[in-house]
Amino acid sequence: MIISCPKCGTKYKIKDELINPEGTKLKCTKCGHVFLFVDKGKGQGDEEIAKKEMDKFREEVEKQVEKTKISLEEPFIKRIKVSKKTISILLGGIVIVLFGLIGWNYYPQIKNKLPFFQSKSKIKQKNTGSSIESIKNIVIQDVKQYFVDNEKEGKILVIEGKVVNKFNKPKELIKLEATLYDSKGKVLAKKEFLCGNKVSLFQLQSWSKKHLEEELNSKVGILMKNTNIQPGGSVDFMVLFFNPPQNIAEYGIKVIEAMDVEKK
């Protein structure tokens, strides 16, 4: 049998009985090329054998992939879902704990300091006024009154000064009452207010009535300046009367309330 090297074309004469029906691996002595020779009359060609082997390999791979989908993919997806749910629960728990700690630490302080956080019954009781004993050692000092022309509201009567704690214990939320009288002692106007807030001359001249009253009644300023006033300590005050009556003859300022500092 004559066989040719598929690479260089060199021909060789080989006995038929040396050729295996399934194919015989040969090496060209000239170029060194190794190739598989199959006698088409006795067995399958190179391409058919290769195709058969490739099909068998592909079937094995597909089976392995199918097994992997069943055993790995579904449990993995379930683990992801459980993980997300767990994280959400943990985050929610952390937020609840943080809010609880903040409320536990600060609520008693806020409740004791701010009158607008107190119960309705307590506010109603305070409005009836304080006893003489609770205010007798709160002294009003450095009081002055003057008029300011406001560019939006017209004339404003300003009364300002300070109160001093002469008690031997702290006081807070000191409230005053300012009253305007005519020459016969008749009350023309009256205002109650908490000490602590003041505004500048520029603000008195340019701000609106609403803006000025909001500033003087600011709960933040009252909380910062009119709480826990130690013995000998003082706090400023200012009260405004917009477009006051023309027949004002005198005015009066008095303390109507002074709270004891609650012990923690």
Q: For residue 43, what pLDDT is reported?
A: 47
Per-residue CA distances from 114 to 59, 133, 243 (Å)? 80, 23, 31
Phi, psi dihedrals of residue 224, rounded to the nearest 5°? -75, -35
Tokens of 16: 């038929």
CB atoms under 10 Å from CB of 193, counted, come to 19
Which domains does the chain possess?
2-43 (no CATH), 132-260 (2.60.40)
Outline where the chain has alpha helix (H). 46-68, 74-113, 120-127, 132-135, 201-206, 209-216, 219-225
Q: For residue 103, what pLDDT is reported?
A: 64
CA–CA separation, 223 and 228 (whole Å): 9
Identify whether the C-beta of residue 149 lies closer than 8 Å to the C-beta of residue 91: no
Instruction: Please give the model's pTM, rounded to 2 decimal places.
Output: 0.51
Per-residue CA distances from 15 to 2, 33, 195 (Å)? 9, 20, 125
Over the stretch 235-258, which tens digit does the pLDDT of each residue have? 999 999 999 999 999 999 999 999
Identify whether the C-beta of residue 47 lies closer than 8 Å to the C-beta of residue 6: no
Helix (H, G, I), strand (E, B) or coil at 114: coil
Q: Report residues of the chain scoring pLDDT below 70.
A: 40-54, 57, 61, 64-86, 102-130, 264
How buried is 171 (Cβ within 10 angstroms: 0-12 exposed, 13-18 middle, 19+ buried)?
Answer: buried
Q: For residue 115, what pLDDT is reported?
A: 45
Q: For residue 25, what pLDDT is reported?
A: 77
Over the stretch 78-90, which tens digit does the pLDDT of each residue have? 444 445 666 777 7
